[in-house]
Homo-oligomer: A and B are copies of this chain.
Amino acid sequence: MEKSTAILGEHTGTLLHFDGARKVRERAVAQVRRELIMEAARGAFFELGLDGASLREIAKRAGYSPGALYSYFASKEEIYAALLGESLDRLNRQVEAAGTRPPARKTAPQGTLRATAQAFFDFYRDNPRDLDLGFYLFHGMQPMGLTPQLNKRLNEQLRAALAPMRDALAALGMPAKAAQAEITSLFAHIVGLLVLSHTGRIRMFKQDPKALFDHYLNALLARAAKP
């Protein structure tokens, strides 16, 4: 079971008192190997897409035989779940960084909202595969194969990524409920824009995703300023 908590990147230093040092070391080694496999999976997935990235391919890239991966992950899906967790971590870091960078701070909270929302948008625009990842486990748009606790964890990571924007709205005087609704809308808008963009539907309307997003953001800021 440590295996699955490890998926989420939690460390267990406190076990030091109960386990021998050897066990700790082995656990650390296993974690490193997990990450090696995830790296291979990410590479395969990014280069070959959801369908091209077979377990065999991932194993080959990681320098393992197919069966060996099952020592680290219970299934292919679990690999993707781990990948998604890591992806959300990166998203969080990117959003957070945008929220604490000087230019944003100066004109806060409008600046913060704009900067973090932009960072969120940019993250998925620049890494379309990370967006795919988010929908992989919902093949056919229908949830599947996630353990409830894993689902919860992933949701929390997502919530965390959006939190700075919600807080910025609150700081602008928007009631908590309205802020939450606006942030959900914002998220939906970003997803919609990017899905349409990736599938070529926006180009078809001769529009530019970035411009559309700016427009949305401006409207949101206007709403936030004088409700």
Spell out A's residues near B (CB within 8 Å).
49-51, 128-129, 131-132, 135, 138-143, 155, 158-159, 180-181, 183-185, 187-193, 195-196, 198-202, 204-207, 211-212, 215-216, 219, 223
In the bound complex, do residue B185 and residue A188 qualify as a contact, i.e. CB atoms below 8 Å apart? no
A-B contact list, 28 entries, CB within 8 Å = A50-B139, A128-B141, A131-B141, A135-B199, A138-B198, A141-B198, A141-B199, A155-B204, A158-B204, A180-B207, A181-B211, A181-B215, A183-B205, A184-B196, A184-B205, A184-B212, A185-B193, A185-B215, A185-B216, A187-B192, A187-B201, A188-B192, A188-B202, A188-B212, A191-B196, A192-B195, A219-B219, A219-B223
Cβ of A48 to closest chain B Cβ, rounded Å: 9
In the bound complex, do residue A199 and residue B139 qualify as a contact, i.e. CB atoms below 8 Å apart? no
Residues of B within 8 A of A200 (CB): 138, 143
CA distance A128 to B198 in the complex (A): 20
